[in-house]
Amino acid sequence: MDKQKLLEELKVDTLLNIKQAEFFKTLPIDKLNFKSNDAQWGILECVEHLNRYGRFYIPEISQKIKNNKYPNSNEFKSGILGDYFAKSMQPKEKLNKMKTFPSMNPKGSKLTVAVIDEFISQQNNMLDLLNQAQNVNLTKTKTNISISKWIKLRLGDTFRVVIFHNNRHILQAKKIKFQSFE
C-alpha cells in the first residue's frame, strides 16, 4: 500500500479521536464515570485504557523512528501477524469482545478529566510521530509490542494497531455517552 496514503488516513483518525476527546471534556464528571452496569467501563476508563497503551507505544515508536537505519520507501507491506492484529482492532458493527491484560485494565481506578488531557497530549505526540514516519521505512523498521517481548511488528502495522485500538475504544466511549443520557 502507499505509505503516504496510510499515514494520512491514520492522521485523520487521530485528529477525529482528539476532537471526540475534546468533546468528552465538556461532559460533567458523572457522565464521564457513568456505567450501565458493573461489568462495563465508563468513558474515563475507556480513555485511561488507551493511555496505558500509549505510555508503552509512543516511546517505543519514537525510539524506533529516531534509530531508524533503513532506506526510506514510499510503499508499506503489512506483515501477516501485524495485519491480523490491526484488522482485529478495527471497530465493527458488533464489536468482538476481547479480554484485556490486568495491567491495562483501569476498572475501579479513581479517574478525573486529567485522563482526557493525557490522551489528547498522547494523540498530539502520535501526530508528530506520523509526520516523522514519512522519512522512515515502515516495512523494515520493527517495534516491540506490549503483550510479548518475543514478537515484533512492522512500524506501519504498529501504527495501525495502536490507532485502530484507539478508534475502537473511542467508539465504545461514545456509545457509553449515549447510554448516560437515556
For 101-135, write each residue's pLDDT tens digit: 555 666 877 899 999 999 999 999 999 999 999 99
* Residue 146: predicted pLDDT: 85
Please provide the size of the chain in residues.
Answer: 182
What total number of domains does the chain contain?
A: 1
DSSP category for residue 2: B
- Domain of 22, in residue numbers: 3-180
Nearest one of 39, 25, 49, 64 to 158, comparing CA atoms? 64
Helix (H) and strand (E) counts in the chain = 6, 2
What global pTM score does this model have?
0.91
**For the residues 69-98, what does the mean pLDDT come to?**
86
Model confidence at 43, in pLDDT bands (50, 70, 90)? Answer: very high
* Residue 90: predicted pLDDT: 86
**For the residues 38-53, what does the mean pLDDT come to?**
92
Give SS3 for 140. Answer: coil
DSSP category for residue 118: H
Q: What percent of the chain has pLDDT over 90?
A: 74
Q: Could you tell me the CATH number of the domain that includes residue 147?
A: 1.20.120
What are the pLDDT digits (tens) for 6-32? 999 999 999 999 999 999 999 999 999
Q: What percent of the chain has pLDDT over 70?
A: 90
